[in-house]
């Protein structure tokens, strides 16, 4: 479902002509199978979010290849990436990234609008998902009128609106209390079991990592080892 081959990434910081190159990721090889939940853990600054942004096409690797859903996406243009994301990827963010001037319903509906789904076909789908994540009664509320847990549920509904085969989640429970975290993790388990949705979870939370079939550790930009449920297996992937 996702395959990264010899991915290296570095940032240039400083004024033009006086840039300092900062390496972030080194020789990353990673394969995520269809229907798998993979957690990527590591300290702040280890490169976790950079890795997720590479998978989603928001940044380009310095070198290496990325394949998603059977397609080499390394060289896609921004427009091609936008269309590809809409068709194949859902996103969960720690900061929710809801649009303040839109209601919960309108935020959740947005992927359908972008895809050009007729108005007549949107309402049933939006309300179905809002019911599923327990936020339907707040459909007319704006993000500023919702708690953190409620905003996250709207974000989850939006991420699932187009039935994406892959969901990328960046610290999805970082702003949630324990009850809301548990509910979100139950949703992830349920979607994986019922629909076969593939998840890549970026986290530093052991509770989040516990839902994964496999846990990878990033340290100083290297993937150090993989941990499957049932114990470590010898698998160096750097």
What are the 10-residue block averages of pLDDT along the chain, 238 residues in total?
A: 94 79 92 95 87 92 94 92 91 85 95 91 92 90 92 89 92 80 87 91 88 92 69 37
- Residue 169's domain is classified under what CATH number? 3.40.50.300
Residue 227: per-residue pLDDT: 58
**Cα–Cα distance measured from residue 76 to residue 17, given in angstroms and rounded to the nearest whole number:** 28
Residue 235: per-residue pLDDT: 37
Within-domain flag for 90: yes
Domain count, the chain: 1
Within-domain flag for 16: no
Give, in order, the Cα–Cα distances in Å from 55 to each of 5, 22, 170, 174, 199.
Answer: 12, 20, 12, 21, 12
Residue 174: per-residue pLDDT: 77
* CB-based burial label for 184 (10 Å; 0-12, 13-18, 19+): buried
Residue 225: per-residue pLDDT: 61
Query: Residue 212, Cα to own-chain centre: how many angstroms?
Result: 14
Q: Which domain holds residue 149?
A: 33-64+77-232
Within-domain flag for 84: yes
Query: For the chain, how long is the longest CA-to-CA vector?
Result: 55
Within-domain flag for 58: yes
Within-domain flag for 19: no
Within-domain flag for 204: yes
């Amino acid at each position: 479902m996702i395959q990264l081959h010899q991915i290296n990434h570095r940032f240039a910081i400083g004024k033009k002509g006086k840039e300092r190159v900062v390496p972030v990721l080194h020789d990353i090889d990673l394969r995520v199978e269809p229907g798998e939940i993979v957690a990527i853990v590591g300290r702040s600054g280890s490169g976790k979010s950079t890795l997720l942004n590479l998978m989603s096409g928001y940044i380009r690797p310095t070198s290496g290849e990325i394949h998603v859903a059977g397609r080499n996406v390394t060289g896609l243009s921004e427009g091609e990436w936008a269309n590809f994301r809409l068709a194949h990827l859902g996103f969960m963010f720690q900061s929710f990234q809801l649009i303040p001037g839109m209601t919960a319903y309108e935020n959740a509906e947005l992927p359908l609008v972008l895809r050009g789904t007729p108005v007549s076909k949107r309402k049933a789908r939006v309300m179905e998902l809002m019911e599923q994540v327990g936020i339907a009664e707040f459909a007319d509320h704006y993000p500023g009128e919702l708690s953190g847990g409620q905003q996250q549920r709207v974000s989850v509904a939006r991420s699932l609106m187009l039935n994406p085969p892959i969901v990328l989640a960046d610290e999805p429970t970082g702003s949630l209390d324990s009850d809301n975290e548990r509910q979100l993790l139950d949703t992830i388990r349920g979607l994986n079991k019922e629909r076969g949705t593939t998840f890549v979870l970026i986290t530093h939370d052991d509770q989040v990592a516990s839902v994964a079939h496999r846990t990878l550790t990033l340290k100083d930009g290297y993937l150090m080892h993989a941990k499957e449920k049932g114990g470590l297996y010898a698998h160096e992937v750097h």
